[in-house]
A and B are shown apart, each in its own frame.
Chain A
Amino acid sequence: MKTDRGETLLKARTGFIRTKGERMPTQSCEADSVSGSVSQRACVYCGARVVLNPITDAVHLVHGPIGCASYTFDIRGSLSSGAELYRYSFSTDLKEQDIIFGGERKLAAAIDELVQKYHPPLVLVYSTCVAGVIGDDLEAVCRAAAQRHGIAVLPVESSGFAGNKSEGYRVACEVLMRLMEAGNSPLPAMEPGINYLGDYNLAGELWIIGGYLRRMGVKLNAAFTGDSSLKALQTAPAAAFNIVQCAGSMGYLAKRMQERYGIPFFHVSFLGLQDSADSLRLIASATGDEEVMARTEELIAEEAGQAEPFIQAYRDKLSGKKAAVYVGGGFKAISLIKQFRELGVEVVMIGTQTGRKEEYDEIHNLVEDGTVILDDANPAELERFMSRQGADLLVGGVKERPLAYKLGVAFIDHNHDRKHPLSGFEGAVHFAREVYHTVCSPVWKYVKQGG
C-alpha cells in the first residue's frame, strides 16, 4: 500500500478551501461531508436539538438508543427563568428487540409515563437514525398520545442520516410552525410586540437584549427559543415584525412566518459594539416611533460609553494579533470578523460547519487578502492553516479547543455551553476580556520556550 506521506489535504476537499485574493473557483459549501475527512459537523438530530432544546417546559424525548440522549444531556448553557424540565434528557433506550419488533409501543408508554410524572404542556419526540430506519410511525404515536393527554405531542423528524445539521434546523423550524398553528388562541388585540428569533439565552444573552428592548420601549413578544415556554411561543403570530439573530438556524422560520402570518423580518446581530448599536437602531426605526428612536440613542450612548473604555484597554493589548475562526454558522463568522476588527485583531483563517453561499460571499468581501476560507473543515486542515497563517488564537467549539491548545494557540469558546454572555455591549466586553485572558496568558511564555 502506497500513500504520499506529505499530502494531508484531500483532493475531494479542494473546492471547500480558498484563499482570498488568489484566483480560485467559487467556494463550495452546503454539501454532504466527505467520508473519512473527520468533519467537525454533527447530524440532523443535533441541529434540531440545538433549536428546540431551550424550550423550557417541554419534555424532550429522544426515540432511539441511549447514546443520542447521553451526548445531549444538559450540555447547553441556555438559561431559564421558569421551568427546568428542558435540562433533563429522556430516551426510549431502544434495544435489539425493539429494533426487530418496532419501538412504537415503547414510545407510547414512555410518553405516558413522562406526562404522568411531569405534566408538561408539550412533548417533543426526536427521531434518530434507528427510529427512521425501522420505520416507527412517530406521527401516529404522537397524535394518539396528544389525544390521550390533551397536550401537544409532536414528532421531530431528525433521523441523523437524513442530511446535515442544517436540515435539523429546518426540521425544528417546521415543528415550531406546527406549535404556533396548534396554538389556536385568538390573537391578542393589544399593541403588538416583536419576536426575537435565533437567540438561545446562552448565559442570559436573551435577557441582556430583552433589557435593551424594554428600555427602548419595544415589547418583546416571543423569543425563539431561549427561555421560552409553549405558551409564549404560541403568542408569536401576533407580532409586528421578527428580528433574526442566528440566521443559520432560524432564517427559515422567519421566512415561513412571513409566508404564513405576513410578519416581516430583518437580520440583526448583537456580537460586537458596532453590530449591537446598528441592530438596535434598525429595530427602533422599524417601529417608526420617534420616542423609541430617541430612547435607543440614549441607550446606545450610555451602554457604548460604558463599554468603550474597556474595549480600548483590551485593544491596546491585542492590536496586531491574528485570529482563526471556526464556528457553526455563517452569521456568527461574519459578526466575528467585525468584532475582531474592533479589537485590532485580523482574521487570517475563517470557516464554518454549515455556512451558506451568500454568507461565504459576505465573508469573502469582509476579510483581507490572504485570508483562508474553509467550509466543513477537519482537524488536519485547521492545524495546517492555523499554523501557516500564524494564528495567535482560534475561536471554536469544544472539539476544536484541545487542538488549538496542543498547537500552542489561544482559544475562545464560542459554543453553546459557554458560561458567560457574549451578546450586546456587555457581551462585547466579556468577549474582549476572554480574548485578552487567553492571548495574553503567561502560559504561552513557557510554550514558546519549547515543550
Chain B
Amino acid sequence: MEAIKTMRHSVIENPCHACMPLGAILAFKGIQGAMVIIHGSQGCSTYMRRHISEHYNEPIDVASSSITEPGTIYGGSVHLKKGLDHLIQVYHPELIGILSTCLAETIGEDIARIAAEYTVERDMGAYPLVSVPTPGYGGGHSEGYFLAVRHIIARIARPVPKHHRINVIVPHLTPAEVREIKRIMDLMGVDYILCPDYSETLDSPFARPYQKIAGGGTSLQELAMMGGASATIEMSRCVETHLSPGRYLAGTFEVPLYNSPVPVGIEATDLFVNLLKELTGQPLPDVLQRERGRLLDGMIDSHKYNAEGRAVIFGDPDMVLAVSSICMENGIVPAVAASGVHSKALELEMQTLTAGRTDVATVTETDLAVIRDLAVKAEANIAIGHSDGRYLTEREGIPLVRLGFPIHDRVGGQRLVSVGYAGTMMLLDRITNCLLDSKLSAYRPRMLKKYYSEPSGKF
C-alpha cells in the first residue's frame, strides 16, 4: 500500500469536503436547546444552512452577525453583540455556539473576548456562550465538528464526583446511526452520556406545534456530568489529539479514554460491544448475538459477488476508514481510499488495515479530480461516498453507493444506518447489490461481444 505524496497541486478541482464551521454547526445541533451564530459575512451562514438542510431535509436555523464593509474595517463586535440580542429574543436558546469564519479570524476578531464582554454587559451570569474558532481555512468540516464538541465539553463539564456513567463521543454519523448506537447500548444495559446527540434534532418527527429549536440533544446537565464519568468511548481513530474531546476529558478530569473505531463492519462492531462488555461486565445479549449471526450469514451469502469489487472510497477520514474495513472483511479491494482533509491518522490506519497489499492507494488532502484519476487507474467498479461523487458515475460510469455527507440528490441520507451488526448488514447489502446491478445489467451484451460477435480468444 502506498500513501500518495505527489498529488498536491496548486488548485482544488471539485472539492471533496466542506469547511470547518459547517462541522461545528452539526456538533451544536446535537446539544439540547442550542443555537448557533456565525461571526462573518451573511453568505457563510446561508450557504451552510443550505448545504446542511439539503442533506437532512430539516430546517437549519443558523444566525449570522452579518458583517459588512464597515465591520470589516472597524471590527465586528457590535454586529456580533446585536446578533446575540436578536437571536436570544427569537429563539430563547439554552446555549449559544459562536463560530468564527475566515473573515472574522483574518480581521482579528476575538470571539472569546467578545463573548465574555457580552456576558458581563448583559448581566447573564453563567449563561453558556461557547465560542469556537473555526476559520474556513483552518480545516475541513470533520475537524470543525470535533473541535466544537471539545469546546462545548470544555465549557460545560464540571469536576463532579465520580459516577458509573460512560461518555460516548460520536463522530459525524447519521441521526439514525446515533439511534442505533443508543439501542445497542440500551440492550447492553449501559448507562451513557452520548455527545453530541443529534439523533432527534436532525431527524425530527412531524409534530405540532412547530418548535424553532427541535427537541432532543445532549442536555447541559449531562454535559456537566461528563467530567465524572467512569470512561469515555470516542468513536474515532482519526481525530487529531488537539481536537479530541476524549483527550480533553482524560487530561482535565482523568476520565479513562477508549478509542474505538466507528462500529461499521463485523470486527469494529465486535470491538465496540466487547468494550461495552468489559466496561459494564454485562454479557452480549441474545438479540445482538443473533444480529451478529445474521450478519455473518449474509456475508457468506454475498462473498463471491463481493470478491469482484474494487472500491473507490471518499469522505470524512473516519468514514473512509470504516468503509475500507468493511471492504477488507468482505473481499472487496479498497483500491482508493481518499479524504478531502489532511489526515495522517487515516494514512497510518490504512497502512495497518491493508498491510501487505500493493493494490491500495490512500490519499488525503485531495479533491474529486484526483480521486477520479486514481479510480480510473485502479479500475474501480464501485464508488462509496457522498453525493458529490456522482460525477464519477456521470464521467466514468462508476456506480455510486451514497454514504456520508452530503447526500443531496437522494432522500433519506439522514436515515441510513451502517453501524452495528444490523447496520453493517444493510450497508453491505447496498454495496453487494450495486455490484450485482452492474454485473447483471451488462453481462449479456458483454458475453455476446466477447464470445460471439468479436471473439478474440484471449482470456
User: Are A61 and B135 in touch, CB under 8 angstroms?
Assistant: no
User: Are B58 and A402 in touch, CB under 8 angstroms?
Assistant: yes
CB of B206 within 8 Å of the partner chain: yes
What's the least CB distance linking A386 to chain B, in Å?
Answer: 10
Per-position 1/0 for B144-167, Cβ under 8 A of A: 000000000000000000000000
Per-position 1/0 for B75-99, Cβ under 8 A of A: 0000110111111111110000000
A407 to B71, CA, bound (A): 36
User: Are A451 and B69 in touch, CB under 8 angstroms?
Assistant: no
User: Are A88 and B14 in touch, CB under 8 angstroms?
Assistant: yes
- Which among A2-10, A169-177, A189-197 touches the partner chain? A2-10
CB of B122 within 8 Å of the partner chain: yes
CB of A198 within 8 Å of the partner chain: no
Per-position 1/0 for B37-48, Cβ under 8 A of A: 100111111111
A440: B residues at CB distance < 8 A: none
CB of A399 within 8 Å of the partner chain: yes
What's the least CB distance linking A94 to chain B, in Å?
Answer: 5
B18: A residues at CB distance < 8 A: 66-67, 70-71
CB of A74 within 8 Å of the partner chain: yes
Interface residues of A in 107-130 (CB under 8 A from B): 109-110, 112-114, 128-130
Nearest B residue to A5, CB-CB: B92
The contact size tier of chain B is 35 or more
User: Are B89 and A8 in touch, CB under 8 angstroms?
Assistant: yes
User: Are B89 and A71 in touch, CB under 8 angstroms?
Assistant: no
CB of B123 within 8 Å of the partner chain: yes
Given contacts A33-B66, A402-B53, contact A133 B61 (CB under 8 A): no
B82: A residues at CB distance < 8 A: 34-36
A96 to B106, CA, bound (A): 9
- Which among B5-13, B260-268, B290-298, B444-452 touches the partner chain? B5-13
Per-position 1/0 for A49-71, Cβ under 8 A of B: 00000000000010011111111
A250: B residues at CB distance < 8 A: none
CB of A139 within 8 Å of the partner chain: no
CB of A261 within 8 Å of the partner chain: no
B391: A residues at CB distance < 8 A: 74
- Which among B207-215, B228-236, B354-362 touches the partner chain? B207-215
Given contacts A7-B89, A36-B63, A161-B103, contact A43 B10 (CB under 8 A): no
A41 to B41, CA, bound (A): 10
A24: B residues at CB distance < 8 A: none
B172: A residues at CB distance < 8 A: none
A407: B residues at CB distance < 8 A: 210
A403 to B140, CA, bound (A): 28
CB of A38 within 8 Å of the partner chain: yes
CB of A279 within 8 Å of the partner chain: no
B72: A residues at CB distance < 8 A: 133, 161
Per-position 1/0 for A367-408, Cβ under 8 A of B: 000000000001110010000000000000111011101111
Per-position 1/0 for A78-116, Cβ under 8 A of B: 000000000011111111101100000010011011100
CB of A182 within 8 Å of the partner chain: no
Given contacts A35-B65, A70-B17, contact A43 B12 (CB under 8 A): no
Given contacts A3-B92, A129-B101, contact A35 B64 (CB under 8 A): yes
A72 to B79, CA, bound (A): 26
A130: B residues at CB distance < 8 A: 102-103, 106, 136-137
CB of B415 within 8 Å of the partner chain: no
Which of A33, A69, A99 is in CB contact (< 8 Å) with B106?
A99
What's the least CB distance linking B143 to chain A, in Å?
Answer: 12
Which of B11, B22, B388 is in CB contact (< 8 Å) with A67?
B22
Which of B86, B92, B122 is in CB contact (< 8 Å) with A34?
B86
Given contacts A3-B92, A42-B47, A71-B50, contact A129 B14 (CB under 8 A): no
User: Are B10 and A67 in touch, CB under 8 angstroms?
Assistant: no
A73 to B369, CA, bound (A): 13
A64 to B51, CA, bound (A): 18
User: Are A113 and B54 in touch, CB under 8 angstroms?
Assistant: no
Given contacts A39-B66, A161-B72, contact A46 B47 (CB under 8 A): yes
What's the least CB distance linking A446 to chain B, in Å?
Answer: 9
CB of A447 within 8 Å of the partner chain: yes
Interface residues of B in 235-272 (CB under 8 A from A): none
A33 to B60, CA, bound (A): 18
What's the least CB distance linking B40 to chain A, in Å?
Answer: 7
CB of B393 within 8 Å of the partner chain: no
B56: A residues at CB distance < 8 A: 402
Extra contacts, 8 of them, besides A8-B89, A402-B53 (Cβ < 8 A), are A38-B45, A38-B62, A41-B43, A70-B17, A74-B388, A96-B138, A129-B102, A164-B42
Binding site for A on B (CB under 8 A): 9-15, 17-19, 21-22, 37, 40-51, 53-54, 56-69, 71-72, 79-80, 82-92, 101-103, 106-107, 122-125, 127, 135-138, 140, 204-208, 210, 212, 340, 369, 388, 391
Binding site for B on A (CB under 8 A): 1, 3-5, 7-8, 10, 12, 32-46, 61, 64-74, 88-96, 98-99, 106, 109-110, 112-114, 128-130, 133-134, 160-164, 378-380, 383, 397-399, 401-403, 405-408, 447, 450-451
The 4 closest A-B pairs by CB, nearest first: A43-B43, A36-B83, A67-B19, A36-B86
